[in-house]
Structure 1
Amino acid sequence: MSIQWKGVMPAVTTKFTDTDELDLKTFELNIKTQLEAGVHGIVLGGTLGEASTLLDEEKRILTTTTVNIVKDKVPVLINIAEQTTKGAILAAQKAEEDGAKGLMMLPPMRYKSGDRETVEYFKAVANNTSLPIMIYNNPIDYKVEVTLNM
């Protein structure tokens, strides 16, 4: 399935129980409701989806759960918000293994990167996965402005 970069692709929230475990029952209901509403894709692990606080295994669980629910009706994308290039490459490869059809990527997270560093980070990930990438530009929160000139 190739991604058509149009329509509504909500970055869904991640649900938790009172004991801070993934609430998969509520999460699954949310994904099914999004499908019934006619979305064109699902984005996991965005800022409101707890990208920077989820464990790697939790991200994988959310990805495989969503892939199993949508059954190729719409593409599943996962946000990559990592501190290192190695970490971002590994996350992208895991997402691909788990059935994601694309990535939404933020610039590196720990320190404010310059233009060249930001571009090289995105290139390194792109060169290590076959998944298409949507750049997530949120300079107010993440202090890096991704521009067309980059």
Structure 2
Amino acid sequence: MSNASFWKGVLPAITTPFHADGSVDHAFLAKHAVQLVDAGSTAIVPLGSLGEAATLSFDEKVAIVATLVKAVGDRVPVVPGIAALSTEEAVKLAQAVKAAGAGGLMVLPVYVYTSDWHEAAAHARAVLGATDLPCILYNNPVAYRTDILPAQIAQLAGEFANLQAVKESSGEIRRFAAIKELLGDRLVLLVGMDDAIVEGLAMGAEGWIAGLVNAYPVESVQLFELARDGGYAASAELYNWFLPLLRLDTVPKFVQLIKLVQAKVGLGSETVRAPRLVVEGAERADALAIIDHAIATKKA
């Protein structure tokens, strides 16, 4: 499969909706995915950190992929995150979600265990080698304590033709230039932090695995297109309005906060799975001040 257009555009890291009893709300999940695609999203990325994947069972993950494939799989690819406590489980999940209709995979480091490159590479090779689906390599050293450097990304890209993109979430904008220097256009670069989207596009990224898109799908696609086509000058007004919300994507309670934004704009519930709890007290008041200001100042 060509990487010409598979990863370009806004790829929502879709949240996992829960009923009050903690079970997955598949009806809303399907409805939400349709809303995101209707707004111009080019893929749906479930089972990531924002999707609370660490709290989902293996069977729940496969069922979520099946629901999304049924809802939007004929329009855009469903690209689940592959994260697990063990390499064996990650390989099995990669194979199971392909059988459920996934169109690609996002390959994460293993949960919990902080690794060196020797072990992280072995894990990535096992997952990439277990599938013929096109894959994204996800680098997020802040969250996973494993930093995959540009030269190491290049090494894997040289070994696996199905590695087509990299989601770079180190927060170090110079990484984009370093990857391009080594690989040219071999991999599609994806921005993985909401508050770096305009900067990332300026440095050669072509896709955005986005978080606040769950609450503001139309505005997210508009911001992406303005920044892609006209740079900072064209996108500055919308970016400045959006930035306080986008920064909610890069704090420890980003799941709770993004779901709170969804609830406030009528695109979801703030229900999360323990150990996460909904934000309360001063923390909630501070978040609502940001959200309410954004709602009040959003242009039609």
Specify the TM-score bucket, using the shorter chain as the normaliser.
Answer: over 0.9
- Residue in 2 that maps onto 1:122: 124
List structure 1 runs of 4+ shifted beyond 3 angstroms: none
Give me the identity figure in percent.
Answer: 39
- Residue in 1 that maps onto 2:25: 23
- Residue in 2 that maps onto 1:131: 133
Which of 104, 107, 110 is the equivalent residue of 1:108? Answer: 110
Structure 1 or 2: more helix by fraction: 2
Which of 13, 16, 37 is the equivalent residue of 1:14? Answer: 16
Greater gyration radius: 2
Which of 53, 69, 72 is the equivalent residue of 1:70? Answer: 72
Stretches of structure 2 that go unaligned for 5 or more consecutive residues are 153-300
Q: CA deviation at 1:71?
A: 3.5
Distance, in Å, in 2 between the alignment partners of 1:71 and 1:77 is 10
- Residue in 1 that maps onto 2:49: 47
**Superposition pairs of residues 76-95 of structure 1, within 5 angstroms:** 76-95=78-97
- 3-state SS, counterpart of residue 53 of structure 2: coil
Distance, in Å, in 2 between the alignment partners of 1:52 and 1:70 is 24
Distance, in Å, in 2 between the alignment partners of 1:71 and 1:52 is 24
Distance, in Å, in 2 between the alignment partners of 1:91 and 1:147 is 25
Distance, in Å, in 1 between the alignment partners of 2:145 and 2:56 is 21
- 3-state SS, counterpart of residue 136 of structure 1: strand
- Code of the residue aligned with 2:71 in structure 1: it is I
RCO greater where, 1 or 2, for CA within 8 Å and sep 6 or more? 1
TM norm structure 1 = 0.95
Aligned residue pairs: how many? 150
Deviation digits for residues 65-120 of structure 1 (CA, Å, limit 9, x no counterpart): 11011142111000011111111100100011110011111111121110111111
Q: CA RMSD, aligned part only?
A: 1.3
Distance, in Å, in 1 between the alignment partners of 2:135 and 2:30 is 25
- Code of the residue aligned with 1:102 in structure 2: it is G
Q: CA deviation at 1:2?
A: 6.0
Q: Is the 8 A contact 1:2 1:101 kept in 2?
A: no
TM norm structure 2 = 0.48
